[in-house]
Amino acid sequence: MVTIKDVARIAGVSTATVSRVIHNGGQVGDACRAKVKKVIAELGYQPNANAQALVSKTTKAIGVVTPRLSMSFFGTLASGVENAVSENGYKLLMANSLYETQSELDAIQSLRQHNCRAIILHSEYSDEATLIRLAEEIPGLVLVNRYIPQIANRCVWLDNIRGGQWVTEYLLAQGHQQFAAVTSIYQNRDPAERLQGSRQALMEQGLSLPPERVAKSTANMEGGEQAVKELLARGETFTALLAYNDLMAIGAIHALFAAGIRVPEDVSVVGFDDLPVARACRPRLTTMHYPIEEMAAYAVNLAIKLSNANCQPTGQTYLFMPHLVERDSVTKASR
């Protein structure tokens, strides 16, 4: 391994000078700088990041913790983070939290041990108090997809309520009147908010979403399938189906077809998230686009900024809006 001393010795200067050259510090003579640069190139010298981190007490590493990378949504989130991170010349440290509060905390701990400068966290289950405490300890902590008033300026999140509202208004505009919904059994945050938005839109038209028309299950394909079966078994009728997310929507479509109900001819179905899979299924899914990649990039830049200045909580927050992507799973209601 070639160290800064080797460079210094061969270039005939001190290590301090080499260090200055590496960091483009102003106070170096041109000739000297050129010589050092030449030696660096010849030797293929690379500063040891650990040593730099040790002495400067900060690293060029950013950590991200998400439930599981194998899920499309989180893969895309991580990808957005990675791009922004490497654009800034930083490194990415990853940790899966596996949807468990404890391993989420463990993941954060181990990231901190490595002195990452900032942490991007997608937390679903940790409570607000924990997150607030964490934010106090970690200047560069940013929450994605979560809003906590006390640390609003570290939250990069999505307006789920409006999302639910807009997608419902769209269905309404297509003439639909009979709605049903499949949603997550965990009625925490996202699912509850999206549903709330839908109910709001419905109410404005004097319509409603009665509880018997809302089936709950796991927030994946199987869950969507299962939930629709339940709806059908109860004999519910509807022309528009609101799914909590794309996965549930696709499962729902499967169950509908299995029951001889065509989408969109008989029933229109909408999803939420706009995962890649929304373009793969048939009919291609009309859904609300979740700008997760942009949000991830935004979160990284915010995290870097926060980690530099030590920012006090401000009232400001970072709210993104979903938008509708029209594809083939919705059609006008036939009267």
Partner DNA sequence: GTGAAAGCGCTAACAA
Partner DNA sequence: TTGTTAGCGCTTTCAC
Q: Which residues bind DNA (CB under 7 A)?
A: 1, 3-5, 12-20, 22-23, 26-29, 31-33, 45-48, 51-52, 54-57
How many angstroms separate the CA atoms of 322 and 308, rounded?
Answer: 30
Residue 183: closest CA among 199, 205, 203, 201: 199
Task: Yes or no: say if 327 and 164 are a contact pair by the CB < 8 Å rule.
Answer: no
Rounded Cα distance between 78 and 63, Å, is 10
Contact 141, 299 (CB under 8 A): no
Question: Does 109 help bind a second copy (rule: CB under 8 A)?
Answer: yes
Q: Report whether 243 contacts 226 (CB < 8 A).
A: no
Residues in a beta bridge with 217? 184
- Asked if 231 and 202 touch (Cβ cutoff 8 Å), the reply is no
Q: Which of 23, 133, 279, 323 binds a second copy (CB under 8 A)?
A: 279
Q: How far is the CB of 274 from a second copy (least distance, A)?
A: 13
Could you tell which of a second copy, DNA, none binds residue 17, using a CB distance below 5 to 8 A set by kind? DNA
Q: Is 316 in the site for a second copy (CB under 8 A)?
A: no
DSSP 60-112: SEEEEEES-TTSHHHHHHHHHHHHHHHHTT-EEEEEE-TT-HHHHHHHHHHHH
Stretch that binds a second copy, among 6-14, 86-94, 118-126, 175-183 (CB under 8 A): 86-94
> Is 4 in a helix, a strand, or coil?
helix
Considering only 9, 37, 91, 189, the residue that binds a second copy (CB under 8 A) is 91
Please give the Cα distance from 223 to 220 (Å, whole number): 5
Residue 250 contact among a second copy, DNA, none, beta carbon within 5 to 8 Å by kind:
a second copy
In angstroms, give the least distance from the CB of 62 to DNA.
Answer: 18
| 72 touches a second copy (CB under 8 A) | yes
**191-210 positions binding a second copy, by CB under 8 A:** none
**Shorter beta-carbon distance to DNA: residue 51 or 98:** 51
Should residue 3 be labelled a site residue for a second copy when binding is judged by CB under 8 A? no
In angstroms, give the least distance from the CB of 321 to a second copy.
21
Which residues contact a second copy (rule: CB under 8 A)?
46-51, 53-54, 59, 61, 68-72, 74-76, 78-80, 82-83, 86, 91-96, 107, 109-115, 221, 247, 250, 253-254, 257, 276-277, 279-282, 293
